[in-house]
Amino acid sequence: MRVISGKARGLKLDTPKNQDVRPTTDRVKESLFNMISSYIMDSNILDLFAGTGSLGIECLSRGAKNCIFVDKSKDSINIVRSNIKKARVENESTILNVDFKDAVKKLSTQNQKFDVIFMDPPYYENMFIECLKSIDEFNLLDEDGIIVVEHDTKDLFEESIGRLNKSREKKYGNTTLTFYKLEEQNE
């Protein structure tokens, strides 16, 4: 697993020794960043269920302003910390070693808004809908922002969840990326 583009391009990132974390493959990551490149520069990023931190680090390498990495696993947080240091993006990074529910509430009380939110929860725990509802309820997505959900292709998502509308879906074998945006406001 490596950083694909930007100032840390080509950097090989640490990965877990066990199968608990499922890093995004380089092929999926490259396609994803081709689709969302216009959201990255000078943006605020939230990498929920960060795992190795590769998605947030890729954003920072491509010019994002900052990234908050969230994971409840201490092992994952140690890998994220190591990868952030390797990529030399410590100043633009914040790490929260908490459950996503606690993170969403905390970030909301700090009035944080994000241009890009990555969600890649463990497939077998089926937390996707609950997490999307929390992001909507606590108003974490910037009005022009996007949520990227990486999930098993067998998982089906509703067209809308609260104020979030599905804007795109792209399949890569067993992995699917589903994108959500805030519904358009009529003025």
Going by their DSSP bridges, the two strands 44-48 and 141-152 should be labelled as unpaired
Measure the CA–CA gap between 81 and 53, rounded to whole angstroms.
8
Q: Fill in the DSSP letter of residue 19.
A: S
Bridge partners, 180 (sequence order): 147, 166
Measure the CA–CA gap between 59 and 56, rounded to whole angstroms.
5
Total of domains in the chain? 1
Please tell me the predicted confidence (pLDDT) of residue 11.
Answer: 83
4 lies in some domain = no
51: left (phi over 0), alpha (psi -120 to 50) or beta: left
18 lies in some domain = no
10 lies in some domain = no
Q: What is the DSSP string of 43-62?
A: -EEEEET-TT-HHHHHHHHT
- Helix/strand/coil (H/E/C) assignment for every residue in 83-148: HHHHHCCHHHEEEECCCHHHHHHHHHHCCCCEEEEEECCCHHHCCHHHHHHHHHHCCCEEEEEEEE
3 lies in some domain = no
Kindly report the pTM of this predicted structure: 0.92
19 lies in some domain = no
Range of the domain at 59: 26-182
Please tell me the predicted confidence (pLDDT) of residue 80.
Answer: 95
Q: Residue 14 in contact with residue 79, Cβ under 8 Å?
A: yes
13 lies in some domain = no
Please tell me the predicted confidence (pLDDT) of residue 182.
Answer: 94
Unique residue bearing structure tokens 């583009």: 5
Unique residue bearing structure tokens 């490149």: 37
| Domain CATH number, residue 165 | 3.40.50.150
Low pLDDT (below 50) residues in the chain: 186-187
Neighbours of 109 (CB within 10 A): 8
93 lies in some domain = yes
143 lies in some domain = yes
